[in-house]
Chains A and B, each alone.
Chain A
Amino acid sequence: MDISFIIVQFVSGLTMATLLFLVASGLTLIFGVGNVFNFAHGSFYMLGAYLAYQTVSAWYSNFWVAAFVACLGAGIVGMLAEFLFLRRIYGRAEEGGFQILLTYSFILVIDDIVKIIWGSEYKSILRPSGLRGSAEVLGITIPTYNLAIIGFGLAVVILAWLVLTRTRPGRIARATAIDREMMATMGVNVPLTMTLVFGIATALGGFAGALAAPLRSVTPGAGIEVIIDSLIVVVIGGMGNFWGAWLGSLILGEVIAFAVVIVPEWASVVSYVVMVLVLIFKPEGLFAPRSVGKV
């Protein structure tokens, strides 16, 4: 394996990591702020991919318009799901378990509705014009679209970090994560905050789906694959932790990228092996500042 090959795989791992991070960070955000584990998060990713496909293929629209539609559509559906359903079971005694069931039922419903609308055959869309070529970096050929995705990922990380730490809504969201009741007594509209957080997180997922659509074929099963990978990411990184999600995505993206060439048949198993290793040595994830899940 020569060095240029390693770099190519590394970039492909970074691309995967970025897409994963867009999904996992949303998952983490919802979990951190609302203590809800959204099993259906992958379905919003898938929904985003289909919306992008629809916009590009049916309306011959520009890819970036499509990505925007995907973002908006997934976000709106996400907010509706939170507002109409999830909100009704906050604070129940069996909260944790029933939230999981509810978001699980979202998967079944969203996946099937997508199947009804778009059918179950594979769909694909072209890379956006201007990003179909490759770039030469140190004599190594790398698709420009991958570089663009990585760039977007970085931008989102920085933007999200700025929003969370520097803006008032961001600080409110973080404070709500720590003490919901306190924020409620301080006049913060906690339910609205939750709905918005849900919307932002699902919009991020939808955006990731749109970005991924030109790279992978769009299928109704895409959501489940992504949610399982994101799940591994949050287990590795530590649930509810933004930087943990980032690190976890990076580790998993690279591991898969190299496993695909070293043990092609078993690449998907390798990612679990990483998770098990982390579990053995740090059951609460690599980043676990809060003591979570302790009895």
Chain B
Amino acid sequence: MGNRINYGEVVFWAVLFLGFGIIPLLKATSYQMMLASHCLLWGLFAVAFNMLWGITGMLSFGQALYYGLGAYGVGLMVRHVGAGWFLPGLGLGLVASVILSVIVGLLIIRVSGVFFTVLTLAFGQLAWQITFRWYDFTGGDDGIQGIIAPGFLSNRIVYYYATLIVVIASIWFLRRVSRSPMGVLLRCIRQNPTRVAFVGQSVRFTQLRIYVISSFFCTLAGGLMAGVDNSIHTDMLYWTTSGEVILMSVLGGIGQFFGPFLGAGVFVVIQDVVGAKTEYWPLFIGVLMMVIVLLFPRGLVGEFQALRARLKSLTQGNRGADETASGTAKPA
């Protein structure tokens, strides 16, 4: 609270700058660098997604739509115009993302709660269907291969650092948003939308704004991912992708701004370790999601904070242990 230094936040930025910054200097293999890039981009995707859910209380099951839009913006340009059109494709995807999210947003913010979730899912699946069916244009189920960023970006170390910089800048921006008046207003909408109207603010308009902002950064993550994997696939638009980003967020803790980033990192690593060993990966993540939802709903960061608060109050012999625990586990 107040202006006290938040150590968790300091640690986060340090890891982001230094931890991810030195990976290429450690003679990392290209596979390890790809994993690191995945952590970064899924992290951005999850943080952007959580601006909607954890902060504003709008659970979208369709952010894969915007993630895939970014990827296909790049992929389609490279496929139909030329290999050098990577960056214009990224820009085009971002512009399309803003336009599309305004249109879709206007249609779906009229309902809230589960209804909102169902509609986001439906629009996500619509985009997937179109991409899947329109074989001549999108390559359908074959996806698009051979996407390589042009010029100096084709060097994978350069591309890695470019990704790192974009991710840092984006998360920094979203962090600013979350601590601005608008960020507080978003949290207020989650807690008590009726009261928000009675302080003279439009709930819907504010929701639309954050929907567009969140979608923009999802698109950015998807577009950059196309350059990391050098290929894209319709699965990026499929609802399981939306499901994965949700799982990452709950895993890390949706109540905290940085929780989803941590969750994304942990998820990518688990996927790398477990996913290679089993063909029943969905079963594994299904069970994982059940365990988190039923037993650790606050996620890694939230449970850690609660635990720390409890230990602290135990050592101080404080009787209000539960109160402190729940207090500090609230959104920061």
Direct contact of A and B (CB under 8 A): yes
A positions within 8 Å CB-CB of B: 31, 37, 85, 88-89, 92, 94, 96-98, 100-102, 104-109, 111-113, 115-116, 228, 231-232, 234-235, 239, 265-266, 268-269, 272, 275-276, 279-280, 283-284, 292-295
Contact with A along B253-290 (1 / 0, CB 8 A): 01000000000000000000000000010110111011
A275 touches B122 (CB 8 A): yes
Q: What distance in Å separates the Cβ of A195 from its nearest Cβ neighbour in chain B?
A: 17
Q: What distance in Å separates the Cβ of A179 from its nearest Cβ neighbour in chain B?
A: 18
Closest 7 CB pairs of A and B: A108-B286, A112-B283, A109-B286, A105-B289, A293-B111, A272-B126, A293-B115
A228-B122, A266-B133, A292-B115 known; 5 new pairs, CB 8 Å cut-off, are A88-B294, A100-B59, A108-B283, A231-B121, A234-B118
Interface majority SS (helix, strand, loop, mixed), chain A: helix
B194 touches A295 (CB 8 A): yes
Whole-angstrom CA separation of A31 from B285 in the bound complex: 25
B59 touches A265 (CB 8 A): no
Interchain CB contact (< 8 A) of A108 among B110, B112, B116, B282: B282
Query: Residue on A with the closest CB to B243?
Result: A104
Query: Residue on A with the closest CB to B295?
Result: A88
Within 8 A of A (CB), among B104-120: 107-108, 110-119
Q: What distance in Å separates the Cβ of B97 from its nearest Cβ neighbour in chain A?
A: 18
Interchain CB contact (< 8 A) of B111 among A85, A100, A275, A292: A292
Interface majority SS (helix, strand, loop, mixed), chain B: helix
Whole-angstrom CA separation of A89 from B247 in the bound complex: 17
Contacts of B211 in A (CB 8 A): none
Contact with A along B128-150 (1 / 0, CB 8 A): 01100100000000000000000
A276 touches B107 (CB 8 A): yes
Contacts of A98 in B (CB 8 A): 293, 297
A96 touches B114 (CB 8 A): yes
Contacts of A116 in B (CB 8 A): 280, 283
Whole-angstrom CA separation of A265 from B137 in the bound complex: 14
Query: Residue on A with the closest CB to B57?
Result: A97
Contacts of A94 in B (CB 8 A): 254, 297
Q: What distance in Å separates the Cβ of A104 from its nearest Cβ neighbour in chain B?
A: 6
Contacts of A292 in B (CB 8 A): 111, 115
Query: Residue on A with the closest CB to B126?
Result: A272
Whole-angstrom CA separation of A92 from B297 in the bound complex: 10
Give the contact-size bracket for chain B: 35 or more
Q: What distance in Å separates the Cβ of A222 from its nearest Cβ neighbour in chain B?
A: 15
B59 touches A96 (CB 8 A): yes
Within 8 A of A (CB), among B288-302: 289-290, 293-294, 297
A280 touches B282 (CB 8 A): no
B286 touches A239 (CB 8 A): no
Whole-angstrom CA separation of A37 from B116 in the bound complex: 12
Whole-angstrom CA separation of A284 from B113 in the bound complex: 12
Query: Residue on A with the closest CB to B247?
Result: A101
Query: Residue on A with the closest CB to B115?
Result: A293
Whole-angstrom CA separation of A88 from B297 in the bound complex: 12
B193 touches A89 (CB 8 A): no
B122 touches A272 (CB 8 A): yes
B61 proximal to A (CB < 8 A):
yes
Whole-angstrom CA separation of A221 from B326 in the bound complex: 41
Whole-angstrom CA separation of A96 from B293 in the bound complex: 12
Contacts of B286 in A (CB 8 A): 105-109, 112
Query: Residue on A with the closest CB to B196?
Result: A295
Q: What distance in Å separates the Cβ of A251 from its nearest Cβ neighbour in chain B?
A: 15
